[in-house]
Chains A and B, each alone.
Chain A
């Protein structure tokens, strides 16, 4: 019989994170909310949020595509 890993610890970690976030001061929670809104606006506008992080993989992908096109 196939054995599956126990993921209870993962769910517990998620619950701990939720409790931690809930315990933050209201001002910090609103800061997080504003960042979420900013991220959503960026995604909707198709602008990478983490430009530096996205820059390299995108370029590599384009170089590969050029090679294929040759």
Chain B
């Protein structure tokens, strides 16, 4: 994993992406107990103007030139299946901007805050997301005031209230 993170940092250093943050299940594991997931979700800010998957083309080209092969929706970087997502709305953009700088071994990396992860899961609203929101709320890792501010700023209060009974035990 550490070698994978070094490659992500290289993408920033080489100007292929502006910035990144780990999201999804691996970011959740940073805060919670480990649970199984197949890949590393990486949200990236890119300056290029393009739409959809074309936006990710420079990343894939750079990585392919470095010998990393795409397989389905993933690209394997140092043995770890990685899925890149361009930031796709103000919430994910905000989540990358405000991600925590942490260290993994001797390598620095960025992981989304617990509050942003919960807000993204509220927004996405898949059954798995609602379950994980419950895990987050049971832990002491979520600052409720911060979460409330993020939900308001990104117009997610209605979604929160609609689904509240599903993830509040």
Contacts and interface: CB of A to CB of B under 8 A. Distances in A.
Given A27-B104, A27-B105, A30-B1, A22 B38 contact: no
Interface stretch (B28-36, B60-68, B69-77, B152-160): B28-36
Contacts of A18: 33
B29 A29 contact: yes
Contact of B36 (A22, A26, A40): A40
A29 B25 CA distance: 12
Given A26-B104, A27-B104, A27-B105, A33 B36 contact: yes
Interface in B90-132: 102, 104-105
Contacts of B1: 27, 30, 34
How many A residues touch the partner, as a band?
Answer: 10 to 19
Given A29-B29, A33-B29, A21 B34 contact: yes
Nearest to B139: A22
A53 B38 CA distance: 27
A36 interface: yes
Contact of A32 (B26, B30, B31, B34): B34
Contacts of A27: 1, 104-105
Contacts of A13: none
Interface in B23-60: 26, 29-38
For the side of the interface on B, what is the size category? 10 to 19
B34 A33 contact: yes
17 contacts: A19-B33, A21-B33, A22-B32, A22-B33, A22-B139, A24-B34, A26-B29, A26-B102, A27-B104, A29-B30, A29-B34, A32-B34, A33-B26, A33-B29, A33-B35, A34-B1, A36-B34
A64 to B, nearest CB: 35
Contact of B30 (A19, A26, A37, A40): A26
Nearest to A32: B34
A33 to B, nearest CB: 5
A42 B24 CA distance: 24
